[in-house]
Structure 1
Amino acid sequence: MAYEVHIERKTGQPINLDEWVKAVGSVESVRLSKAATTVVINPATGEQISNPQMKGMAELFDLGGQSWIAMFSWFDGRISARASRDFDIFESHQRSVMRALASQLGAQIVGDEGEIYE
């Protein structure tokens, strides 16, 4: 199972969709997803799997691939994302963008095991 990181408030107060949309609009390298569905390819079989997107899905600009990739999901008052391989590095692109988003939302980055990321 993939390790996830989340943007959530220390107080437990949920992040509402309007706040999330505003934060996404104010941070570079992230945008709300325009796609109606997310398509992933099973690497073992090559099968394409389509899932309808929920409100609040956002994409991160991949600096290496120079493309937008589905990254963030807003659900139940918090934002979640699969941690990138370099997430433990303070300067990683995903972590930097998440720090900026968390700052806009008065929130913090929390790992699946409860650890706090700066």
Structure 2
Amino acid sequence: MHGDFEELGRKVQRAQYAMAQVRGIGVVRGVSVIVDAENRLLSIDVPNATAIIEAYQAALRDKEPKAAAAMRELNADARLRSVRTFTEANSARLEAERRLRAEPGELYDTRQSWSVFE
């Protein structure tokens, strides 16, 4: 009976190792994507990636004055400015307190959690 569990344990380990090696690769119209066995995005390769980033940055610059104009009336209201000042001050205080309580490695882990390449 004990040997059965050991054998099952070895099978589980082999399957885990094999699954860790699994990669799916898709290529469509010059765009290459690699995913792992858990469907996590590991890599994207596109032609002219620099142009994509530059176009994205241009779009951000283009929308900024439009967003500012859309919010102008609301931002001019003194009541909103008071709430915003309070909220920003309180958020900064809470973040400072959280950082003081955090373990040394925890802040690094939190900052890195957004990456799709983990």
Coarse TM-score class (shorter-chain normalised): under 0.3
The structure number with the bigger radius of gyration is 2
Q: Which has the higher helix share?
A: 2
TM-score, normalization: structure 2? 0.20
**Normalising by structure 1, what TM-score?**
0.20
- RCO comparison, higher one (Cα < 8 Å, 6+): 1
Tell me which protein shows more strand as a share of its residues.
1
